[in-house]
A and B are shown apart, each in its own frame.
Chain A
């Protein structure tokens, strides 16, 4: 007697219980706390905030814990939560010139006002496993702090080039009007640069990195220099209608990258450097640099360049595929039951094979 598989609900409940057990792991090992993740897995927390589009380190840390360290799963948790939050308004544009920088490097000048600040970087570490970290209860590491207080403003490197007219100014209309909101309007093409940047800011780091890398290897090459990469804390201000002026509502950490790229020019206009821009929540410099390269690649039309057919130049390709929540959902859904469609394919392929075995098809011959 054949009995169809039943009990889906119980199977789901049991799977969830098992998941909780697997999440906890060996109970003889102390459980991770959310503050531990927030403080000691900061770059994971930052990535989850950046791609989750929500600046909340505690929530991101909790999502990482819940997701067993699967960052895309954690980003998904944050996104699903974010979309339910009421919106009280939009902040004033952030002033990254007033950033309290913890890291600021320029590849285009040996030194510049504000200085080069290496900050907490892996850049010059030797990638040797540090076995001393395996020991617990180490002495608390402490770095020396500068004696002089940080300057209130750190000018952007781009400003020096701007002053000389060497760098193409950002278009004046770029800041005009309210920017579009990718999470509230369906994506439509052609996209504005504001919309492209918005999509890239929450785009998958790996996808953005690979696209940026492809431009460096010649698929839409645009000769980038990192004019400046800065990481630090910026005040967020919002105008309160009842007060009629903007007040500071909090601080967030950001990573900003401005690239200086190959010059454009024509018979009527002298050549100028062009730029790419990257900005992320939290300290995510690989992502911010990648974003700037891809931004620049997608600006080919506006800058009068040729479309070389490179993936990174193709805004429809990039924007349609850069979101890892969309991508992973659609990719992973193929593990859901598809037996009804597969059955339809089975019947069709059996028919085709039966007919092929029976001899040449007169229709096929007629068609050829």
Chain B
């Protein structure tokens, strides 16, 4: 734990703002998948860099928390580093790269491979919270559709995909139905991660700063990826194992290794990869890495 910079209120936001966000979070938990409007503040980082997730995390953190921040599944991506540093400075909380040790995990674009546990909170950064936005740009219209549970437009879109491509042509931010009522955008996670949204013991909170919306999936909530009986949801994912830790059944990044089209696949979840390496698993490229601690 680092000492909190006393120039700032705990977790940066003023108490009034935190109360406003906290009330919105409680409503979001009570109405799973529904987008609660909240008066998002201008943060000292740009919209699009995770201001929604940062505000949700700031309103959620207690001094006892241990925070993990990932972007693209990795703890060491620049924006994850930047957000982690921000909370160390303004909240003085402990941080970790280990999924198992974290009580609050802020993420952009991934769900950790390791199963989350009861009591953990996963905070997603969300760019466009409205799953219907690209079908109907008007908020006044989409709000009505949610009120009436009128999701025909979404089904038409998905079916047109099948007619054109033979598949539902959505690879990430794949829409889900939460507890049989609200169609929700799970943020731009790869659809590979969608099954992990459902029935998780952890609490999942979603913050969209620029769009001023918060939504949530409580633990043990039914989340179904939209599909058709004759075209069931497919998880996808590369048909390969991690070149470093030999993990299979995990989400892999494709890395171009030379100018001749050579490529390899490695775990997107860097903590998961590290954990497996420490447990002795080795892929073809998985010699113990020097400078791993750099």
Across the interface, A341 reaches (CB within 8 A) one of B109, B166, B237, namely B109
Across the interface, A8 reaches (CB within 8 A) one of B37, B77, B108, B192, namely B77
| B30 contacts partner chain A, Cβ-Cβ < 8 Å | no
Question: How many residue pairs at the A-B interface have CB separations less than 8 Å?
Answer: 169
Considering only CB atoms and an 8 Å cut-off, how many residues of chain A contact the other chain? 57
By CB atoms of chain A within 10 A, which of B110, B210, B251 has the most?
A: B210
- B46 A329 Cβ-Cβ under 8 A: yes
Contacts of A88 in B (CB 8 A): none
CA–CA, A184 and B212, complex, Å: 11
1/0 per residue A6-25: CB within 8 Å of B? 11110110000000000000
Across the interface, B251 reaches (CB within 8 A) one of A11, A340, A361, namely A340
Q: How far is the CB of B134 from chain A (nearest CB, A)?
A: 14
Pick out which of these stretches binds chain B: A55-63, A99-107, A248-256, A348-356.
Answer: A348-356
Interface residues on B, range: 35 or more
| B294 contacts partner chain A, Cβ-Cβ < 8 Å | yes
- A82 B71 Cβ-Cβ under 8 A: no
- A83 B165 Cβ-Cβ under 8 A: no
- A12 B78 Cβ-Cβ under 8 A: yes
- B237 A2 Cβ-Cβ under 8 A: no
- A330 B47 Cβ-Cβ under 8 A: yes
Say whether, besides A345-B172, A351-B167, A340 and B73 are in contact (CB < 8 Å). yes
Across the interface, A333 reaches (CB within 8 A) one of B46, B237, B268, B292, namely B46
| A139 contacts partner chain B, Cβ-Cβ < 8 Å | no
| B291 contacts partner chain A, Cβ-Cβ < 8 Å | yes
Contacts of A361 in B (CB 8 A): 166
| A337 contacts partner chain B, Cβ-Cβ < 8 Å | yes
- B85 A367 Cβ-Cβ under 8 A: no
CA–CA, A6 and B78, complex, Å: 9
| B148 contacts partner chain A, Cβ-Cβ < 8 Å | no
Contacts of B110 in A (CB 8 A): 340
- A340 B139 Cβ-Cβ under 8 A: no
Say whether, besides A320-B139, A340-B73, A328 and B171 are in contact (CB < 8 Å). no
Across the interface, A340 reaches (CB within 8 A) one of B80, B253, B257, namely B253
Q: Is the interface of A mostly helix, strand, loop or mixed?
A: helix
Across the interface, B42 reaches (CB within 8 A) one of A9, A83, A331, A337, namely A83
Contacts of A170 in B (CB 8 A): none
Task: Using CB atoms, name the residue of chain B closest to A320.
Answer: B139
| B244 contacts partner chain A, Cβ-Cβ < 8 Å | yes
Contacts of B238 in A (CB 8 A): 343, 347
Contacts of B49 in A (CB 8 A): 329, 333, 336
Task: Using CB atoms, name the residue of chain A closest to B36.
Answer: A186
Contacts of B48 in A (CB 8 A): 329-334, 336
Across the interface, A332 reaches (CB within 8 A) one of B14, B46, B159, B268, namely B46
- A348 B169 Cβ-Cβ under 8 A: yes
Say whether, besides A8-B81, A11-B78, A316 and B264 are in contact (CB < 8 Å). no
- A352 B165 Cβ-Cβ under 8 A: yes
Contacts of A339 in B (CB 8 A): 72, 253
- B76 A347 Cβ-Cβ under 8 A: no
Contacts of B173 in A (CB 8 A): 341
Say whether, besides A8-B76, A332-B46, A333-B47, A347 and B169 are in contact (CB < 8 Å). no
Q: In chain B between 207 and 245, which residues have their CB closer than 8 angstroms to a CB of chain A?
A: 210, 212, 230-231, 236-238, 243-244
CA–CA, A339 and B256, complex, Å: 12
- B171 A337 Cβ-Cβ under 8 A: no
Say whether, besides A184-B39, A338-B109, A6 and B140 are in contact (CB < 8 Å). no
CA–CA, A341 and B171, complex, Å: 7
Say whether, besides A341-B188, A352-B166, A3 and B171 are in contact (CB < 8 Å). no
| A326 contacts partner chain B, Cβ-Cβ < 8 Å | yes
- B172 A4 Cβ-Cβ under 8 A: no
Contacts of B292 in A (CB 8 A): 3, 6
CA–CA, A267 and B100, complex, Å: 74
CA–CA, A225 and B71, complex, Å: 52
| A368 contacts partner chain B, Cβ-Cβ < 8 Å | yes
Contacts of B39 in A (CB 8 A): 183-186
Task: Using CB atoms, name the residue of chain B closest to A79.
Answer: B42
CA–CA, A46 and B40, complex, Å: 26
CA–CA, A104 and B24, complex, Å: 47
Across the interface, A1 reaches (CB within 8 A) one of B72, B189, B289, namely B289
Contacts of B164 in A (CB 8 A): 364
| A188 contacts partner chain B, Cβ-Cβ < 8 Å | yes
Contacts of A325 in B (CB 8 A): 42, 46-47
| A5 contacts partner chain B, Cβ-Cβ < 8 Å | yes
- Would you list 27 pairs from A and B whose C-beta atoms are within 8 A, ordered by A residue? A2-B257, A2-B264, A4-B266, A7-B294, A8-B78, A184-B39, A190-B140, A316-B138, A325-B46, A325-B47, A326-B47, A329-B210, A330-B47, A333-B48, A333-B127, A336-B49, A340-B109, A340-B268, A343-B190, A343-B251, A343-B253, A343-B254, A348-B167, A348-B169, A363-B231, A364-B163, A367-B162
7 tightest A-B CB contacts, nearest first: A333-B48, A329-B47, A344-B171, A186-B37, A329-B46, A344-B190, A8-B81
A residues contacting B by CB (< 8 A) are 1-9, 11-12, 76, 79-80, 82-84, 86, 183-190, 316, 320, 325-326, 328-334, 336-341, 343-348, 351-352, 355, 361, 363-364, 367-368
